[in-house]
Amino acid sequence: MTRLANLPGFLLFLLAAASLHASPIVREPGAIYLSDFGDKTLRVNMTQAAKSYFDMGMTRYAGTLRYPQQVQVVAVADTGCRVRGNAQQGGVVAWVSFDDLSGLPKDFLATMKKAEERRLMVEALIAKKEVAIGMTSDEVRRSLGKPAKTTKRANKEGLEELWEYVKYDLIPQTTYTPGVTQTVIPPNKPGQPANVVTQTVMIGNTIYVKVPVGTLKVAFKDNLVDSLDQTEGTLVGAGQVSIVTPPLNVYW
């Protein structure tokens, strides 16, 4: 504690900033975060020096963002955008109004809402280890894992990739082998030896064997699931094939 007290104020500021940067993002309910849709960044221009806020309700003042500058859009909500930029007090990640930004993609908020709706639908399918037409190959791999077999074939519409999955069930199999048990019978009178009764019994041993019960073939076109072909032992839910919209580009 004494060592920290002797540090110059500037060094203490750097330590605090580094600690803040290393902490995980605190997500606000109702906000849609661009990091959920890839590693790209979206940078836009400030239209003016503008007040920014720590919360999307615009109640806790964070600082005034400088103008002119470009800021990185981190998240979006009905009230505005959460951006990373430079304020008069230093770097901040805070909420600003849509009116304070220029260069946002057309219909940005509506597109982000549709993208978030799709993302939640896909995440629900992945949690149940199911797939749907319109999912990407990465999403299928996250849901079902690595395919047992992959093939590629060309047709008049282009190149098609086929992934094959096999579903297994664990079937119990019990085998019996002879064994011996011994029962000790106490003597009737003190000093007499105990009686030992030996019996031959059958001892069961159960093991579980992986047995294939169904297959699923996932056909991709342009990296999106185009069709599903499955046998009994379904891998995509109770015989019902779901359809999701293809991923939306939220950056333009």
Distance CA 98, CA 192 (A): 98
Distance CA 198, CA 56 (A): 79
143-202 pLDDT per residue, tens: 999 999 999 988 777 788 999 998 888 888 888 888 887 787 787 777 778 787 788 888
**Beta-carbon contacts of residue 79 (< 8 Å; ≥ 6 apart):** 56, 57, 58, 95, 97
φ, ψ at 122 (rounded to 5°): -65, -40
pTM (predicted TM-score): 0.72
The type of residue at 148 is A
Is position 123 within any domain? no
Clarify whether residues 72 and 145 are in a common domain: no
pLDDT score recorded for residue 96: 98
Clarify whether residues 10 and 78 are in a common domain: yes
Give the C-alpha distances (Å, rounded to integers) separating 234 from 36, 189, 208, 243. 29, 68, 21, 16
With contact defined as beta carbons under 8 Å apart, do 243 and 134 qualify? yes
**Domain boundary pick from 69, 104, 139:** 104
Distance CA 221, CA 246 (A): 12
Is position 93 within any domain? yes
More confident residue, 179 or 207: 207
φ, ψ at 110 (rounded to 5°): -65, -40
50-92 pLDDT per residue, tens: 999 999 999 999 999 999 999 999 999 999 999 999 998 899 9
- pLDDT value at 240 more than 80: no
CA 247 to chain CA mean position, Å: 15
The type of residue at 131 is V
Give the C-alpha distances (Å, rounded to integers) separating 136 from 79, 91, 143, 160. 31, 36, 11, 14
Distance CA 147, CA 169 (A): 17
Is position 67 within any domain? yes
Domain encompassing residue 58: 2-104
Clarify whether residues 96 and 150 are in a common domain: no
Supply the mean pLDDT for the chain. 85
CA atoms within 13 A on the CB side of 47: 9
What's the structural domain count of the chain?
Answer: 2
Is position 110 within any domain? no
Clarify whether residues 154 and 96 are in a common domain: no
pLDDT score recorded for residue 181: 79
Is position 148 within any domain? yes
The token pair at 96 is 């600003």
**Domain boundary pick from 104, 123, 143:** 104
CA 171 to chain CA mean position, Å: 31
